[in-house]
Structure 1
Amino acid sequence: MTSNTQLEIHDLSPDAFNAYGWMLGKPMPDGNGVPLFTNPATDFWHEHLFNTGAGGDAELLWVNYRSQSIEVASLEKHLLTQQAIVPLTGSIIQIVARSAADGSPDLSTLAAFHVAQGQGVCMRPGCWHATRVAGDEVTCMMLTRRSTTVDLIQHLTTDANATESAITAIPAHQLEVPQDLLQSA
């Protein structure tokens, strides 16, 4: 399936990503009820309360992303859990879409975001997504639900149906990768 449908890559901001989840790595807040601590040696603050869904155990994964393909022809989603991705060794391009009423990707909401090294995103359950890199392999920290990882691996390596995730083909879209993103990769 090929298409001339172009997909612009947007800068990540809390407002721009809100329909899909939460931006991570925002500057330290002024307070206003947000738990935080600061002194000359360190700062820490509440960024997001991660939700694995009922009865789920959280797990941290190390994920190496290598796909430089500008074509986006499939998406996946996780039904029960949020999923957070924080690029550690470079930037990523996170493609996202909301679910339509029937659970399929709502392609009218398809968007792509540049997630800089040290920033991150936490996607809502049911958020369709794919990840790309503009250059070399990027290692990311992922926070997800343990049973979702096991279910997805079993689906990808055997004929078993996934019960906590879904993967579907979409009409191909082409990422419009800005020159400055290619040069910084």
Structure 2
Amino acid sequence: MSHLQRCNWCSDDPLYMAYHDHEWGKPLFDEAALFELLCLEGQQAGLSWITVLKKREAYRQHFFQYSIQQIAELSDIELAAKLQDAGLIRHLGKLKAIRSNAQAWLKLKAEFGNVVDWLWQIVEHHPIINTVPCYKTAPAQTALSQQLSKTLKQRGFKFVGPTICYAFMQASGMVNDHENDCFCK
């Protein structure tokens, strides 16, 4: 077991440690990975992140490794059938949100060409590095996450409230909220 100092929110679950060490807060510029992350943050609503992490592979299988076009074409019947798999969070609204988000993403892509650049413009294409003595002092949302939430909702995205958007910004590296004494800072 590693003796590295991690953020205090990170449990000793190996899956959680790997996520913390190699993904959370690292700037992410891959389109499918950003789309996946935005969708998974919405799936988390009301649940713990470790619950979502444990189900991530099932989501990848059910949602075509996050092929946005294929997800956008899913029917209501196909989405409802996914409720049978306990590997997913069985909430039809959340599953439908993944399809809505894919459809909204494709509209953004048609309008702007590059959705990754469009998303990253909220932080002027550079991560915001915050001073976080303890994760409990980090905000649940900010003016930027409120702005992102409002914009995404106006464009048809679902499960993208300001708290979900801030978690997305943290996870995708738009914001670095690793604790000051964390080795990932």
Give the TM-score, by structure 1 length.
Answer: 0.19
Larger helix share, 1 or 2: 2
Give the TM-score, by structure 2 length.
Answer: 0.19
Larger strand share, 1 or 2: 1
